[in-house]
């Protein structure tokens, strides 16, 4: 990877680290604590949360009619999402060992915790759980696809694409035939070690991949 591009990638990861610190500061602001993966609020704040919860009848009556009518369409996505979850997990379970690639730990991409907030009613909790699963699943699948792409075709596109996955910046330039033949083995080899998926280390010429935590 070119030194200038590598500096840009480093800046992106520095910004991600800064955002992670900001999120931690916000948790302190709202008096929440994380212990063993569980979020805890002070008793007084929990009571405040309960007092702000809207009843389900009021939520339905005050809601938008068209939003209510489109709810079945949204939740109809659950079946294809579950099937996609199963199929992608099956794919990497079968293929990644053959490619000698480290599997993507799916738990790292799923954060199902908003349903525990006392200021949400039952319908809102269901909405939040669905959104958490759907977006976590897509992030998990994106990483599986990104590792597959790095193994089989780590080449940038001719045009700029919006919001590429984090591995894209270490791919080879479009049209760089000598670089592709020379660097492809190294890019594939980087998928085999434990360091590439932790975000803690950077392999030479490959770059660092943040794990999203």
Q: What is the pTM (predicted TM-score) of this model?
A: 0.74
> What is the per-residue DSSP string for 2-50?
-HHHHHHHHHHHHHHHHHHHHHHHHHHHTTEEEETTEEEE-HHHHHHHH
Q: Of 110, 112, 106, whose CA–CA distance to 143 is shortest?
A: 106
Q: Is the dihedral of CA 80, 82, 85, 88 positive or negative?
A: negative
Both tokens assigned to 28 = 């302190």
Read off the pLDDT of residues 150-167 as tens digits, 9 standing for 90 and up: 999 999 999 999 999 989
Both tokens assigned to 51 = 């007092």
Q: How far apart are CA 33 and CA 35, in angstroms?
A: 6
Summary mean pLDDT of the chain: 82
Sorted by where each begins, the domain ranges of the chain are 54-147
Read off the pLDDT of residues 24-50 as tens digits, 9 standing for 90 and up: 655 555 555 555 556 667 777 778 888
Read off the pLDDT of residues 81-96 as tens digits, 9 standing for 90 and up: 999 999 999 999 999 9
Cα distances (Å, whole numbers) of residue 144 to 5, 133, 140, 197, 209? 24, 16, 6, 11, 13
* Residue ranges of E strands in 81-159: none
According to the model, what pLDDT value does residue 15 have? Answer: 72
Q: Which of 63-72, 92-101, 175-184 has the lowest mean pLDDT?
A: 63-72
Q: Which of 59-68, 77-86, 125-134, 144-153 has the lowest mean pLDDT?
A: 59-68
């Amino acid at each position: 990877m070119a030194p200038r591009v590598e500096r840009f990638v480093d800046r992106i990861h520095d910004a991600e680290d800064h955002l992670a610190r900001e999120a931690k500061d916000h948790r302190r602001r709202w008096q929440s604590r994380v212990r063993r993966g569980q979020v805890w609020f002070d008793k007084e704040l929990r009571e405040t949360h309960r007092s702000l919860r809207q009843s389900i009848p009021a939520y339905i009556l005050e809601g938008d009619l068209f939003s209510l009518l489109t709810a079945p369409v949204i939740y109809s996505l659950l079946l294809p999402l579950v099937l996609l979850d199963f199929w992608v997990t099956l794919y990497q379970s079968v293929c990644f060992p053959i490619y000698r690639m480290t599997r993507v730990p799916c738990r790292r991409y799923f954060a199902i915790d908003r349903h525990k907030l006392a200021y949400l009613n039952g319908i809102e909790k269901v909405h939040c759980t669905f959104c958490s699963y759907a977006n976590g699943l897509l992030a998990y699948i994106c990483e599986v696809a990104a590792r597959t792409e790095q193994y089989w075709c780590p080449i940038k596109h001719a045009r700029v694409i919006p919001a590429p996955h984090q591995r894209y910046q270490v791919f080879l330039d479009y049209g760089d035939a000598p670089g592709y033949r020379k660097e492809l083995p190294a890019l594939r080899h980087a998928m085999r070690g434990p360091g590439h998926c932790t975000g803690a280390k950077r392999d030479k010429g490959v770059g660092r991949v943040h794990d999203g935590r």
